[in-house]
Amino acid sequence: MFDETIDEKYIVYQEGTSEGTQIKYKKDGYWYKLDSQGNEGLCEYLASTLLQYSDLKPDEYIRYEQGLINGRPGCRSKDFLEHEDEELVTIYRLYYNEYGRNLAEVLAGQETMEERIAYTTQFVKKSTGCDITDYLKKTITLDRLILNEDRHVNNLALIGTDSGFRAAPIFDNGKSLLTANPSFNKILPLSENVKRVIARPFSGSFQQMYDYFGAGFKIDVSRALSWLENEPESREKSILMYQLKTL
């Protein structure tokens, strides 16, 4: 856990969405995010620590620490852009820059999940030369496990350099594990609450997208559960343990 006091001059932007505003800071090589609606910092920490028990490479996902920012809960992660010529380019921005349209709205107008996936991967391939199929497979495998409700096309990205593009590490997993989910009902068992989660970006069903792509990585479930048992109690921890036990 960190405890950092950060001046307002380090605010990079305030990201407004239909679900609220999240303040972000950048200071001394770290990005900081304040919790906005729920325990997003805790979810980021749990999701990224979980991936240490997977066969993903360390550079394929972002590590998050949970802590306090000006006395308020949040999280931080190291800036993963290593060189001056590198730039994070979201798939949303890539599409908007080329066509002046909102990719999410374009995808919503297509009838099937398969069409949406094909349209997105073909656009990225044509625009950047980068095949993001494996990146999507790994991201959706994680999202299915942590029940990420916020994997919109601004949370999928490439890293652009002077020499080309590559998939970004998996980032921004805070709206997961049913944190701040208004449909959560304490009276119902977890199995029923889990069914209420709506996935993104190609289908409302995590399982449907997972079945299309297949497993992107493996988890050492026994070691992950042993780690979780020693974490402080929370609803988010309970849900992650429940999800792991379904594997």
What is the CATH number for 39? Answer: 3.30.200
Q: How far apart are CA 221 and CA 17, in angstroms?
A: 35
pTM of the model: 0.95
Whole-number pLDDT of residue 19: 44
- Domain check: are 24 and 129 in the same one? no
Mean pLDDT computed over every residue of the chain: 94
Full residue range of the structural domain in which residue 194 is found = 87-245
Q: Which two tokens stand for residue 104?
A: 């999410």
Beta bridge partner(s), residue 74: 34, 67
Instruction: Show which of 56, 78, 100 is a domain's final residue.
Output: 78
- Domain check: are 232 and 140 in the same one? yes
Q: Which two tokens stand for residue 70?
A: 């000006």
- Domain check: are 147 and 198 in the same one? yes
Q: How far apart are CA 198 and CA 237, in angstroms?
A: 20
- Domain check: are 109 and 167 in the same one? yes
CA 226 to chain centre: 24
| β-pair type (65-69, 2-4) | parallel
Report which of 39, 46, 57, 215 is spatially closest to residue 139, judged by C-alpha positions: 215
What is the CATH number for 143? Answer: 1.10.1070
Instruction: Show which of 78, 106, 137 is a domain's final residue.
Output: 78
How confident is the model over 46-55, as a mean pLDDT?
98
Whole-number pLDDT of residue 84: 86
Q: Which two tokens stand for residue 38?
A: 């729920």
Q: 55-89: buried (b, 16+ CB within 10 Å) or exposed (e) per residue? A: ebeeebbbbbbbbebeeebbbbbeebeeeeebeeb
How confident is the model over 225-243, as a mean pLDDT?
97
Is residue 20 over pLDDT 90?
A: no
- Domain check: are 36 and 149 in the same one? no
- Domain check: are 104 and 44 in the same one? no
- Domain check: are 123 and 42 in the same one? no
How confident is the model over 116-137, as a mean pLDDT?
98
How confident is the model over 160-173, as a mean pLDDT?
95
Q: Which two tokens stand for residue 203?
A: 């289908």
Report which of 109, 33, 98 is spatially closest to residue 72, judged by C-alpha positions: 33
Q: Which two tokens stand for residue 12?
A: 């990079």
- Domain check: are 74 and 101 in the same one? no
- Domain check: are 140 and 232 in the same one? yes
- Domain check: are 97 and 201 in the same one? yes
- Domain check: are 50 and 169 in the same one? no
In 3-state terms, the chain is what percent helix, strand and coil (to 5)? Answer: 40, 20, 40
Number of domains in the chain: 2
- Domain check: are 188 and 206 in the same one? yes
Q: Tokens 């398969």 map to which residue? A: 114
The neighbour count for residue 42, using CB atoms within 10 Å, is 24
